[in-house]
């Protein structure tokens, strides 16, 4: 019996020693990852751990800086909102304080038996109200006693045709840009009479005048022969008068500013002559040429486009600013020369200059008044 117990004890001790040895081997064996494979040991030292610590620290600072930047942006937005609300609060406070001060001043003036000049507006308003009270009561009594009272409605613009008549005097400058000549009018002016067709569209007619002077640089033989004044050329005077029909479309129909676009067709009568018209005859290469008394007259049609605005100062008066482009439509309708061009070379110069101006591109800038009837 004792031998059996001794044998069992020896077997238990042997099994315990084997189990302890196996457990130590398991603990000292290489680690195994989640997939069941052996995981290699990571070699490290103090320097590597310091580097990893610095990386973690910098990552934390990066995240911290992002959070700070986001917070500063939110702080800027809330500060802007705070500024707006504070400004509104200050305005409201000032307005309320002004109303309170006005109320206190009014009460003080009404309480005083002999108010000063500062109280005139309060005392006068009160006296007016007291004086008007009996009148208003009397009017109410009369209205109640009357069988029927009909008030005439106030007249208001309906937009009917020819409801508004306008007179438009104007003046300005005109630049003629031809193929050869570039001239500027000394005076460009006119007068228009205009009426509405609808609330946005109007039509009118007008008369216009322009005049300019230029020198005949192409032919100075007359000046040399007649005056002996070197190479100074003769002076040419050009005048034009016309009538035109036009239409305007108002982009907006405001009370004060009325910008518009327009177009028109005109008939013009023009004349050109020399300011020095003393008769003189001269011979050149066996031919006799006559100088003096030349004049050229012509009539022609023209077209124009315009853009501008009316600026009303009162309901019946305002100013008008306009830019316009115009040019002749084809050749002259009729023309007349004072001299025969064969023996009068300057007559051709007047005709050429007149045709040059007629067919040029005329740019104009005008300013005038608007008078509404």
Q: For residue 151, what pLDDT is reported?
A: 44
Q: Tens digits of per-residue pLDDT, 287-324?
A: 666 777 889 999 999 999 999 999 999 999 999 999 99
Q: How far is CA 108 from CA 80, 118, 123, 125, 231, in A?
A: 42, 11, 11, 15, 90
- Lowest-pLDDT range of 36-50, 136-150, 155-169, 224-238: 136-150
Q: Tens digits of per-residue pLDDT, 165-203?
A: 999 999 999 999 988 889 999 999 999 999 999 989 999
Contact between residue 316 and residue 365 where contact means Cβ atoms under 8 Å apart = no
Q: How far apart are CA 176 and CA 189, in angstroms?
A: 15
Residue 154 in any domain: the answer is no
Q: Do 109 and 233 share a domain, yes or no?
A: no
Which of 333, 307, 332, 305 minimizes the C-alpha distance to 321? 307
Q: Do 173 and 308 share a domain, yes or no?
A: yes
Q: How far apart are CA 128 and CA 154, in angstroms?
A: 27
Q: Average of pLDDT values for 155-164? A: 73
Given a cut of 60, is residue 215 above it in pLDDT?
yes
Given a cut of 90, is residue 262 above it in pLDDT?
yes
Q: Do 111 and 169 share a domain, yes or no?
A: no
Q: For residue 143, what pLDDT is reported?
A: 57
Residue 82 in any domain: the answer is yes
Q: Do 184 and 106 share a domain, yes or no?
A: no
What pTM value is reported for the model? 0.54
Q: Do 257 and 322 share a domain, yes or no?
A: yes
- Annotate the chain with three-state secondary structure: CHHHHHHHHHHHHHHHHHHHHHHHHHHHCCCECCCCCECCCCCCCHHHHHHHHHHHHHHHHHHHHHHHHHHHHHHHHHHHHHHHHHHHHHHHHHHHHHHHHHHHHHHHHHHCCCCCHHHHHHHHHHHHHHHHHHHHHHHHHHHHHCCCCCCCCCCCCCCCCCCCEEEEEEEEEEEEECCCCEEECCEEEEEEEEEECCCCEEEEEEEEEEEEEEECCCCCHHHHHHCCCCCCCCEEEEEEEEEEEEEEEECCCCCCEEEEEEEEEEEEEEEEEECCCCCEEEEECCEEEEECCCEEEEEEEEEEEEEEEEEECCCCEEEEEEEEEEEECCCCCEEEECCCCCCCHHHHHHHHHHHHHHCCEEEEEEEEEEEEC
Beta-strand relationship, 317-328 and 361-372: antiparallel
With cut-offs at 50, 70 and 90, classify the pLDDT of residue 362.
Answer: very high
Given a cut of 70, is residue 85 above it in pLDDT?
yes
Residue 66 in any domain: the answer is yes
Q: How far apart are CA 268 and CA 69, in angstroms?
A: 75
Which of 214, 152, 208 minimizes the C-alpha distance to 183? 214
Given a cut of 90, is residue 259 above it in pLDDT?
yes
By residue range, what is the domain housing residue 65? 53-116
Q: Do 208 and 309 share a domain, yes or no?
A: yes
Q: Do 106 and 218 share a domain, yes or no?
A: no
With cut-offs at 50, 70 and 90, classify the pLDDT of residue 27.
Answer: low
Q: How far apart are CA 229 and CA 332, in angstroms?
A: 36
Q: Do 110 and 169 share a domain, yes or no?
A: no
**How many folded domains does the chain comprise?**
2
Residue 248 in any domain: the answer is yes
With cut-offs at 50, 70 and 90, classify the pLDDT of residue 140.
Answer: low
Given a cut of 90, is residue 15 above it in pLDDT?
no
Which of 171, 193, 205 minimizes the C-alpha distance to 365? 171
Greater confidence, 249 or 25?
Answer: 249
Q: How far apart are CA 338 and CA 297, in angstroms?
A: 8
Q: What is the CATH number of the domain that holds 362?
A: 2.40.160.20
Residue 37 in any domain: the answer is no
Q: Do 193 and 302 share a domain, yes or no?
A: yes
Residue 80 in any domain: the answer is yes
Residue 7 in any domain: the answer is no
Q: Do 177 and 282 share a domain, yes or no?
A: yes
Residue 211 in any domain: the answer is yes
Q: Do 73 and 187 share a domain, yes or no?
A: no
Contact between residue 340 and residue 291 where contact means Cβ atoms under 8 Å apart = no
Q: Do 181 and 90 share a domain, yes or no?
A: no
Q: For residue 148, what pLDDT is reported?
A: 44
With cut-offs at 50, 70 and 90, classify the pLDDT of residue 76.
Answer: confident
Greater confidence, 255 or 258?
Answer: 258
């Amino acid at each position: 019996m004792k031998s059996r117990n001794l044998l069992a004890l020896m077997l238990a001790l042997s099994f315990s020693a084997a189990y302890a040895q196996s457990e130590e081997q398991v603990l000292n064996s290489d680690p195994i990852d989640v997939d069941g494979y052996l995981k290699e040991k990571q070699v490290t030292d103090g320097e590597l751990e310091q580097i990893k610590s610095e990386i973690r620290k910098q990552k934390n600072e990066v995240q911290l800086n992002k959070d700070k930047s986001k917070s500063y942006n939110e702080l800027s937005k809330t500060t802007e909102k705070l500024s707006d609300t504070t400004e509104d609060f200050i305005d409201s406070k000032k307005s309320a304080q002004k109303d309170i001060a006005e109320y206190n001043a009014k009460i003080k003036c009404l309480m005083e038996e002999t108010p000063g000049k500062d109280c005139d507006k309060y005392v006068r308003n009160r006296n007016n109200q007291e004086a008007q009270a009996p009148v208003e009561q009397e009017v109410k009594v009369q209205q109640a006693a009357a069988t029927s009272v009909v008030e005439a409605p106030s007249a208001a613009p309906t937009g009917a045709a020819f409801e508004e008549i306008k007179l438009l005097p104007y003046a300005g400058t005109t630049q003629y840009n031809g193929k050869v000549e570039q001239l500027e009018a000394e005076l460009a002016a006119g007068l228009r009479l205009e009426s509405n067709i609808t609330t946005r569209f109007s039509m009118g007619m007008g008369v216009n005048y322009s005049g300019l002077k230029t020198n005949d640089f192409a032919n100075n033989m007359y000046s040399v022969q007649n005056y002996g004044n070197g190479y100074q050329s003769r002076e040419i005077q050009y005048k034009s008068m016309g009538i035109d029909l036009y239409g305007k479309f108002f982009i907006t129909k405001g009370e004060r500013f009325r910008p518009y676009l327009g177009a028109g067709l005109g008939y013009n009568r023009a004349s050109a002559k020399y300011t020095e018209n003393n008769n003189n005859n001269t011979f050149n290469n066996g031919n006799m040429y006559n100088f003096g008394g030349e004049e050229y007259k012509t009539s022609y049609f023209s077209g124009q486009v315009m853009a501008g605005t009316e600026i009303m100062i009162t309901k019946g008066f305002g100013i008008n600013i306009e830019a316009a482009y115009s040019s002749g439509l084809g050749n002259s309708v009729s023309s007349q020369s004072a001299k025969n061009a064969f023996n009068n070379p300057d007559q051709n110069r007047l005709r050429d200059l007149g045709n040059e101006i007629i067919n040029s591109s005329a740019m104009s800038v005008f300013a005038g008044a608007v008078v509404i009837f």
